[in-house]
Structure 1
């Protein structure tokens, strides 16, 4: 398995960053979360003048074998390739928000149960036509998991080589809230029923059935102390690729914007493999999927937005981006008390 050399940010630099922020022409702390974001950007880039360049959005799509045999989703598996076509035609939510905020959007077939024709708009990284049914066997092999990490690392490296220093990750895959719930339970040690939500729109009866199914799945595999084994048992190819992509982006000292429930399940695995990845993360929003706020609490993470979103695709990250830009702009362009000739109200 690829090991990632992620350097922690230099916390000794924090005093200088705080001094610069506190000496802007404003009351102390009056820009709230923007100040926290600006501080993080400075730490990640190791500079008092951070710059955000060429935001990139990677949307990974993959199918889940469990869906073929159990009703863990309100949608049929055919929706996954249908939504990929929607991405490619520019009609999905993530297309709209990426266009609005200047993201370079890439759509990656990580393991959709469909044969797409060659397209310049689609990165063919298919590991297999969906994972195995994890009610009977591990979702993927160790080799497949390693392959997912390798491919994702290569995609991120290419974005970085093209000048991007801020990146986010979206997903599409019918059944992937089930994988995310299982990974959340395995990592946080919370009971599986507290991690499971309605996903794309299950009824109360459907939710109860989903809890019953996934409880049996967890009992079948057990919970490993090895994060990669949990990923191999319960994950999707899109979730595995997001995990590898996050680790590689942090290794390259990029800023990571973490999206909702599914993306955060990938981060849960990533931080088990290397805690330093968290130094490079901003958390775009808190999802309406019930487990997400518990994930964020486990990570001691503060979300930027509270908009009741639960679409996935990376939409929350794209929507949060202009707020992150505002943090960049104020720390670079807002006058200091000295430069503006204003009495320092902080002192």
Structure 2
């Protein structure tokens, strides 16, 4: 069966005479999705490349394979917490990786090597974080006292190095300290405890550092102890003060157990200044502690008067040791003084 559709000429004219503008709403409707898609793609220019803003910095994390990126590294910088390193004082290193557009490169694997010493605490398994950073620490070999360590960091074909100076068992600072007590070593001698603390450039205690100690006489005094009328303690009368010169009776004290000591695990050495009881209050001395460091030495000096136990000078019925100064230039000239029912020697 053949079916033939016929359109009257008038109908044809009506169809083709319809204004073209009447079709625009349809065209606009069809075009909107395409335009919107084009705008969306244009707005995703950065995101399409994997770039985003993080903490105010651009971070590149494009073309990742597994947990690392294949975007090549273009720049690498190293930041050091210090340029001095020892076996007990680590240097913290921060590696920063950027791409060719100076954008921080996340998920980039790096390698770290040193010419000696040890590497520890590598962050994120050696892969840069969202800020393009990897941190790690370096320490010197145990027992090393001089030299340097070269740190090498590599990201793709980019390599950066840094040099650390080995401090070893050397120090940056030494400080003397003392207590406030005088101990009786035996019936004829007093001893006073002192210490010295050695620290490195970071303020950490330095074990196994060698400390040299010297004691130097400064002044000695002439005079005597006496009991003022009505007093309950001995008083000191000084007739003259004389600057010491080396040798002779101007060396009233010594250091024990040795003038060369080695710091313990806390960075301290302890020692005693020992002297005859008769020298108490009649001499001034200084103690100097010295330890070595890169390029020289560092010292600390403390000056003080040799003293005795206070209780000895409160018993007015017994003459104190050194009642007459051992540095008097004339023979002792003792007189007597009656205190209550007790007569004692006094004066010189």
Q: TM-score, normalised by structure 2?
A: 0.16
Where is the strand percentage greater, Structure 1 or Structure 2?
2
Q: TM-score, normalised by structure 1?
A: 0.16
**Higher relative contact order (CA closer than 8 Å, sequence separation 6+):** 1
Where is the helix percentage greater, Structure 1 or Structure 2?
1
